């Protein structure tokens, strides 16, 4: 009985943010597994949907941009170019969309039981990562069929691109999910932002076209978007060695020396801001939901 | 309980205000802001007002009061779901319990998945859950239904499983918000025995219930809330008598 005296009196409900998510990683695992189990429940095709959707998207963009607008001829192996960008953007879109809704969606639990609420947006990002994986496999098959030669730097670029977007999704997810409790408009704002994301990054076109039209300064602004850098890193990782002649155009100058560090810093700052906002707002989640 | 037992829940002068009307869109907030922030955006009222109390290890406390008197709100402050506007709440050891039947349950998952998920939510580790799983199922008497989706359970079965998980999470402070009402007579009896067993082992119990007879049987101390204030705090027998006399009068 006396042993309880050794535990200190603490204020309940004061968490340590993302550190708690790590501490409760078993719970995180169960939450992620639950989401994956429930996602395609009752649908005939089940998990196949996570292949069908990107496949359709790919075909539409390929015909519209590649065939009709002629990018097919200007960009070597345009199919892999396009698909490597799409899978990454898809991961980001799904992760952020679901993370932004996660707190309101789990209000039943948040109102009644105390647990680190950061778990929910983080779990959404993990679920999207699980959906990203099969798409990556399809991409790799495409790469291998078109003469892909993996290099250490290329593989590093792939991991770095994914890391940048994962950090960005967690950071923005924390921010928008907590604001969403107070203003449900934030969900719609995120959807709008993500619609634009595909176009302000070189997913369908090449970075060179932007540089040509905007000049150095605005190109620098364009490059400070971590999503852009993530997509370029993916191009470097999966597409550049399959492209044939125009290897010089494969990656923008200083992608590794300058833009990758910039992207990491920007994402880390967004993550810090997201965590800060979340912790400020989470105190009143239970009563506002 | 002895005065020497350590305090497990310490509540010092907490108050909580709620807003009655919520702004839900940026547009409304913007208009209010542009008009020079005149007037409050919404009316407020006190759900808890200057509540202070200490609960010691091994105490069995019942929170009593009419609907809307602030009992659930107080429990949520103890569990950490809500934080007070003024004053402080401090707890010692792990706090867990049942604020509502099956709050952490997902209807589309099987009983088994739900046990794992709910136990993890209540703070059990993977090893603990594995070790106690059979005991949880046995206590709930769910038997072969454990692999059925929970939405096909009757509300009593739901309660059994939820209660069983909560009881096995073995917290230092156990909170229960009127849930025993759904169980049948034998299961209620079994729950009460289990609760008694935990209390004897040094657990602290805080329950909310409108079943005054049950309160008198299970709890030694009663706390009566009215409009968010503590109106009476004493042996459960006296407080229940007081509440009954008020209802009649
Ligand atoms: N999130 C909230 N926002 C606004 N008002 C709230 C909120 N939660 C509770 N209230 C109000 O606070 C008061 C106290 O509620 P509480 O749930 O604590 O009552 P209670 O004593 O548990 O009642 P009951 O016996 O019906 O369960 C009620 O008037 C309720 O409407
Ligand atoms: Mg209540």
Q: Which residue has the higher pLDDT, A196 or B180?
A: A196
Q: What is the pLDDT of residue A37?
A: 86
Q: Is the confidence at residue A11, as pLDDT, over 70?
A: yes
- A234-243 confidence digits (pLDDT tens): 999 999 888 7
Tens digits of residue pLDDT in A159-187: 999 999 999 999 999 999 999 998 888 88
* Binary contact (A111, B18; C-beta < 8 A): no
Is A4 a member of any domain? no
Helix/strand/coil for B217: helix
- Global pTM reads 0.91
- A68 interface with B at CB cutoff 8 Å: no
In this structure, the dihedral spanned by the alpha carbons of residues B70, B74, B79 and B80, taken in order and rounded to 10 degrees, is 90
Owning domain of residue A270: 15-288
Closest CA to A271 of A61, A46, A118: A118
- Smallest Cβ distance to B121: which of A14, A38, A113? A113
Q: Which residue reads 């010089």 in tokens?
A: A248
Give the alpha-carbon dihedral of A71, A73, A75, A76, to 10 degrees. 150
Q: Given a cut of 80, is residue A46 above it in pLDDT?
A: no
pLDDT computed for residue B207 by the predictor = 92
* Smallest Cα distance from A116 to chain B, Å: 10
This model of the complex carries an ipTM of: 0.87
Q: Convert B76-106 to b/e letters by CB count within 10 Å (16 or more is b).
A: bbbbbbbbbeebebbbbbbbbbbbebbbbbb
At A1 the pLDDT is 46
Mean pLDDT of B59-74: 93
Task: Decide if pLDDT at B249 tops 70.
Answer: no
CA torsion A68-A71-A73-A79 (nearest 10°) is -100
Cα torsion A110, A112, A114, A118 to 10°: value is: 0
The answer to the question of residue A7 being in a domain is no
Report the residue count for chain B: 249
Residue closest by Cα to atom 9 of ligand 1? B73
Q: Which residue has the tokens 């810093």?
A: A265
Q: Higher confidence at residue A41 or residue A173?
A: A173
**Residue B110, domain extent:** 7-248
Min Cα–Cα distance to chain A from B199, Å: 12
Smallest CA–CA distance, residue A221 to chain B, in Å, is: 29
Q: Is the pLDDT of residue B247 over 90?
A: no
Report the distance separating Cα A77 and Cα A83, nearest Å: 10
Per-residue pLDDT reduced to its tens digit, B194-235: 888 888 888 999 999 888 888 888 899 999 999 999 999 999
User: Tell me, what's the pLDDT at A24?
Assistant: 93
Q: Select the residue of A12, A109, A287 nearest B95 (Cβ to Cβ).
A: A12
User: How many other C-beta atoms can be found within 10 angstroms of the C-beta atom of residue B54?
Assistant: 11
Q: Which of A108, A110, A283, A287 to mutate to test the pocket of ligand 1 (most atoms within 8 A of CB)?
A: A287
Q: Is B183 helix (H, G, I), strand (E, B) or coil?
A: coil
Q: Is residue A262 part of a domain?
A: yes
pLDDT of B33 higher than 80? no
Higher per-residue pLDDT: A37 or B50: B50
Among A133-147, A262-276, B124-138, whose mean pLDDT is lowest? A133-147
Residue B59: is its pLDDT beyond 90?
Answer: yes
Exposed, middle or buried, B37 (CB in 10 Å: 0-12/13-18/19+)?
A: exposed
Question: Does the residue B1 lie in any domain?
Answer: no
Beta-ladder partners of B202: none
Q: Is residue A221 part of a domain?
A: yes
Q: Write down the mean pLDDT value for chain A.
A: 89
Q: Tell me if B108 sits within 8 A of A41, measured CB to CB.
A: yes
B226 forms beta bridges with B229
For chain B, percent of residues with pLDDT exceeding 90: 53
**Mean of the per-residue pLDDT values of chain B:** 87
Mean per-residue pLDDT, A190-198: 92
d(Cα A172, Cα A271) in Å, to the nearest integer?
7
Count of domains forming chain A: 1
Is A177 within a domain?
A: yes
Asked if B44 is an interface residue toward chain A (Cβ–Cβ < 8 A), one would say no
Helices A49-61 and A119-145, packing angle to 10 deg: 60
Say which DSSP state A8 is in: P
How many domains does chain B fold into? 1
CATH code where residue B222 lies: 3.40.50.300
Q: How many helices (H) and strands (E) does chain B have?
A: 8, 9
Identify from A5, A8, A13 which residue to disrupt to test chain B contact, counting B C-beta atoms within 10 A and taking the largest count.
A13
CA of B90 to the centre of ligand 1 (A): 22
Q: How far is CA B160 from the centre of its chain?
A: 16
Decide if pLDDT at B184 tops 70: yes
Q: In the predicted model, what is the mean pLDDT of residues A238-251?
A: 74
Q: Whose CA is nearest to atom 24 of ligand 1?
A: B67
Residue of B nearest to A283 (CA): B83
Instruction: Out of A139-143, A204-208, B31-35, B78-82, pick the least confident.
Output: B31-35
Taking residues A72-97, what's their average pLDDT?
90
| H or E element, residue B37 | none
For residue A154, give the nearest of A84, A82, A73, A228 by alpha carbon.
A84
């Amino acid at each position: 009985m006396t042993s309880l005296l050794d535990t200190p009196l603490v204020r309940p409900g004061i968490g340590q943010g993302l550190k708690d998510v790590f501490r409760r990683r078993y719970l995180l695992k169960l939450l992620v597994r639950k989401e994956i189990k429930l996602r395609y429940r009752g649908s005939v095709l089940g998990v196949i949907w996570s292949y069908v959707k990107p496949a359709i998207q790919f075909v539409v963009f390929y015909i519209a941009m590649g065939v009709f607008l002629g990018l097919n001829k200007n960009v070597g192996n345009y199919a892999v170019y396009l698909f490597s960008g799409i899978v990454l953007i898809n991961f980001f879109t799904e992760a952020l969309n679901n993370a932004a809704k996660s707190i309101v969606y789990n209000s039943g639990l948040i109102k009644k039981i105390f647990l680190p609420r950061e778990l929910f947006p983080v779990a959404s990002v993990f679920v999207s990562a699980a959906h990203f994986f099969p798409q990556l496999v399809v991409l790799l098959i495409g790469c291998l069929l078109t003469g892909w030669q993996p290099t250490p730097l290329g593989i590093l670029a792939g991991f770095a691109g994914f890391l940048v977007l994962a950090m960005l999704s967690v950071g923005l997810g924390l921010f928008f999910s907590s604001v969403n409790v107070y203003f449900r408009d934030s969900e719609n704002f995120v959807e709008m932002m993500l619609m634009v994301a595909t176009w302000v990054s070189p997913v369908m076109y090449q970075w060179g076209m932007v540089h040509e039209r905007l000049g150095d300064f605005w190109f620098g602004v364009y490059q400070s978007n971590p999503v852009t850098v993530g997509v370029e890193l993916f191009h470097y990782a999966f597409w550049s060695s399959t492209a044939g002649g125009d290897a010089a155009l494969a990656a923008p100058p200083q992608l590794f020396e300058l833009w990758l560090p910039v992207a990491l810093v920007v994402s880390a700052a967004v993550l810090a801001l997201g965590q800060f906002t979340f912790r400020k707002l989470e105190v009143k989640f239970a009563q506002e939901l | 309980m002895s005065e020497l037992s350590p305090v497990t829940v310490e509540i010092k002068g907490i108050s909580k205000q709620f807003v009655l009307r919520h702004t839900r869109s940026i547009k409304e907030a913007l208009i209010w802001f542009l008009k020079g922030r005149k007037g409050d955006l919404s009316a407020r009222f006190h759900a808890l007002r200057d509540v202070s109390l200490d609960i010691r290890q091994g105490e069995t406390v019942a929170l009593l009061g009419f609907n809307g008197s602030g009992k659930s709100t107080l429990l949520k402050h103890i569990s950490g779901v809500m934080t007070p506007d003024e004053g402080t709440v401090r707890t010692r050891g792990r706090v867990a319990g049942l604020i509502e039947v099956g709050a952490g349950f997902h209807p589309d998952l099987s009983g088994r998945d739900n046990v794992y998920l709910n136990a993890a939510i209540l703070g059990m580790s993977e090893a603990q859950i594995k070790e106690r799983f059979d005991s949880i199922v046995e206590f709930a008497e769910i038997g072969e239904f454990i692999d059925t989706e929970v939405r096909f359970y009757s509300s009593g079965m739901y309660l059994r499983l939820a209660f069983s998980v909560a009881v096995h999470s073995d917290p230092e402070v156990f909170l229960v918000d009127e849930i025993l009402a759904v169980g049948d007579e034998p299961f209620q009896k079994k729950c009460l025995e289990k609760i008694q067993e935990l209390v004897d082992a040094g657990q602290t119990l805080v329950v909310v219930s409108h079943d005054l007879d049950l309160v008198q049987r299970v709890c030694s101390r009663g706390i009566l809330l009215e409009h968010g204030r503590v109106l009476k705090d004493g042996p459960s027998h006296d407080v229940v008598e007081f509440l009954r006399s008020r209802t009649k009068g």
